[in-house]
Each structure stands twice: as C-alpha cells, then as structure tokens.
Amino acid sequence: MFRLFFLCCLSIGIAHAAPANADDDDLEALINQSLVVSEISQMGQRVGNQASELVVNAMGFLGVPYKRGGTEATGFDCSGFVRAMYENTLGLVLPHNAKAQAAVTQTIDKDELQPGDLVFFNTLRRAFSHVGIYIGEGRFIHSPRAGGEVRIENMSDSYWRKRFNGARRVSASTLHNSSDSAIR
C-alpha cells in the first residue's frame, strides 16, 4: 500500500515538474484571464451595490422639505442633499456647493450616466447652479427649491432638458472620506 502511494506521489511530482508545453501556457493564460475578468466583475458588483445603496438611501428622504443651507433630514438644499447622501452612505465628503461639486468630480457624457452619478443644471442663469443624483431611466432625485421637497424628476421634461449642464461621476480618488478631519 505504501509503495502504491509513493508511486502515485512520485508520478504526480514528475508530471508537475515536466516542462510546460504550448497547451499548458494557453491554459494558464486562459485561467489568468478568467481570474482578471472575475475580479473586474466583482469590483463592478461592489460599485453597483454602492450606487444602489446610495439611491435607496436618497429615496428614503423623499418629501423632506427644501431648506437653504440645509444638510440634515430636517431640510436640504440641492448640494446639501447630495453631500449628505454621499457622506452618510459612502463616507465620501463633497463640498456644499453645486459648482464646487462639479469641480471635484469627473466629467462624463450624458449617455454614460449610471445610478449615483451627479447631474447638473443651470437654474439661476449660471452654470452648475443646481445638482441632483441620477437614479436611472432618465430620472434624478433632488431638493428643488424653497417651498419644494426632495422629489424625483424626469430629465427629459422640457424644463430640465433645456437647463442640463452636464453629468459627473464621483471618484473616491479625488475626494477624502469623512474620517479625514483635514477636509471638515
């Protein structure tokens, strides 16, 4: 029995020590490529999950009144709403100003929008004067104006379509997380 075991182990060792041929190299390359694709897929799922969490969290504030300078559940202005959602959900701190939020985020094309991206509008006759969070299917959530409340709008509505300024993606590499006291 011991001899049989020893011979099996020896043959496995010899087979493993044999020089690799082209088929083995192809197989190894395929396995490595599959691992990379799997890692990318998992990263995409994590990003997707974070965006979903951000959107779900934002929807929990539907109906909260607009409050100039507001950054809490008692009331938000547009940039305060975006800032609070990103900080509370993802730990990322954005400035409390729509134009400044545009400046620290990555420009993307409108057709690249994904849930969690930021959408900017010219509502006060100046660029980037309003911001909301894209939630998918051409819609965004925002805190609109005095007398309004957090709500969902369709970007294809005439008012928003005419005032659209651009889309941005929040990148953790350009921001700091909320535990970084230097940015508070």
The beta strands (E) that lie in the chain are given as 71-72, 75-76, 92-93, 106-108, 118-121, 130-136, 139-142, 151-154, 164-169, 176-177
Tokens 């029995």 belong to which residue? 1
Positions marked catalytic:
78, 130, 142
φ, ψ of residue 7 to 5 degrees: the values are: -65, -40
φ, ψ of residue 6 to 5 degrees: the values are: -60, -40
Torsion of CA 121, 80, 61, 164, to 10 degrees: 10
